[in-house]
Structure 1
Amino acid sequence: MRLSRILARKIKTSGYMPDLIVAIGRGGYVPGRLVSDFLLFNDLTSMKIEHYSRAADMQEEARIKFPIPVDITGKKILIIDDVTDTGETLHLAVDYLLNLKPESVRTAVLQHKICSNFTPDFYAQKVLKWRWIIYPWARYEDLAGFAEKIIQNRTLDISQIIVEFKQRYELDLKETELLKILDDLTERGELESTKQDKRKLWSLKQ
């Protein structure tokens, strides 16, 4: 919320008032909604670009899955996403939207990693050292991906998984939160659980 408010203030101070805000899905959905709210701006739409799957697993290249659903000819566009990581998502979004003949395109993110190959027009915070940032609206999915990475080809109990979350990702998880994630992954068929000496163990489903 705080970063969205800061970002909105910077956009407003710049004097750039868009005709349309385009949120990049899925990471930009929440920031796009919040920034548009702080700008008292109603015209918000979205497009979905896929680059990362769960927990920092990068796909081969960014691709547009769901293009923008409206005509933007002659309009001033503001693209909003959560973060610049490699920068490929915003490069693709800008190139795609410019081909639709808008008057102008500007970009805004909550957090800009200086290692990115794309520098947005507006950002609320600069990140000096690369790290994977877990946002509240993506926490469950990210933790699920990290859990699968931790387990890999092993069979672990919940205390072992919690320890590795701390060691690898500096995350202190409560057992109740992690249990829900492991149970959901098991229900989805991605993990399987067994019992050994009264301990519940998880492994990747073969």
Structure 2
Amino acid sequence: MVEQDKRYKEYPYKEKVGIRPVSWEVFHRLCKGLVQNIAKYDPDVIVGNGRGGLMAATLVSHMLQKDLFPIRISRRENNVIKHERPVWSVLPAKDLKRKKVLVVDEICDTGETLNMITAKCWEMKPADVKTAVLYSRVKGQGIPDYIGVITEELIVNIWDSEIFDQAAKKFKFHPDYITGFQMQSLEIDDAFQLKIKPIKIAKGQVENK
């Protein structure tokens, strides 16, 4: 199950309908689709929200050849829900003044996080601020300027579908996704199990006893 402080609202897995796996190829195609439409706006800088938002923000910034400024605002700490509302840990760069800003995040649920980021960016007196997300729920679709996919499905991203179990010393399917599947009474089939073996690193190799 998803770890969280019981005082705070859990992630709405019960509201998800269906599963949508996102491979590296699909992720790349989504970013290309966003960039094709963002190009006309021609932002001066990209502001990417970590963690998941930085995946898209990094690729978009490379494709548009623009500088990327990472930020961090979330209800979570080390993947555990700790706050009722999103909390800032890394603020936007101060040199946004008179620049066209593109904020990139992974998903828009209610729009609260995206609205807080936008408001904070406007405090830096930019020329303009627009927002882009890979995914949005139906109720949040009015917030971002650019959306890759509007869906109520549980998104299973390739980049966070596995975690490393320190005790077992092995990789396993992310517990959050397991919870999401269980909420829909779905089985996790082989299609969702990554069969990618780690490469032996060049330096710092630890021998498992």
Alignment TM-score > 0.5, same fold = yes
- Once the two structures are superposed, residues 148-203 of structure 1 have per-residue CA deviations (whole angstroms, 9 ceiling, x without a partner) of 859xxxxxxxxxxxxx759635532589869xxxxxxxxxxxxxxxxxxxxxxxxx
1:10 matched residue in structure 2: 37
1:46 to 44, 64, 70: 70
Q: Is the 8 A contact 1:55 1:145 kept in 2?
A: no
For 1:8, give the aligned amino acid.
V
1:145 matched residue in structure 2: 175
Structure scoring higher RCO (CA < 8 A, sep ≥ 6) equals 2
2:185 matched residue in structure 1: 168
1:131 to 138, 149, 153: 153
Q: Is the 8 A contact 1:88 1:118 kept in 2?
A: no
| Gaps in structure 1 of 5+ consecutive residues | 151-163, 179-206
- Once the two structures are superposed, residues 89-146 of structure 1 have per-residue CA deviations (whole angstroms, 9 ceiling, x without a partner) of 101100111111111100011122212275211112222xx23312122212594333
Q: Confirm or deny that 1:33 pairs with 2:58.
A: yes
Tell me the TM-score normalised to structure 2 length: 0.65
Q: Confirm or deny that 1:23 pairs with 2:48.
A: yes
Q: C-alpha separation between the residues in 2 aligned to 1:93 and 1:174?
A: 35
Q: Is the 8 A contact 1:48 1:67 kept in 2?
A: yes
Secondary structure of the residue that 1:47 maps to in structure 2? strand
- Between Structure 1 and Structure 2, which shows a larger proportion of helix residues? 1
Q: Is the 8 A contact 2:48 2:69 kept in 1?
A: yes
Q: C-alpha separation between the residues in 1 aligned to 2:59 and 2:128?
A: 22
Q: C-alpha separation between the residues in 2 aligned to 1:60 and 1:166?
A: 22
For 1:30, give the aligned amino acid.
M
Q: Which has the larger radius of gyration?
A: 1
Specify whether residues 176 and 34 from structure 1 end up closer, same or farther in structure 2 by C-alpha distance, changes over 3 A only: closer
Secondary structure of the residue that 1:74 maps to in structure 2? coil
| Gaps in structure 2 of 5+ consecutive residues | 1-27, 164-171, 196-209
For 2:140, give the aligned amino acid.
S
Work out the percentage of aligned pairs sharing the same amino acid: 29
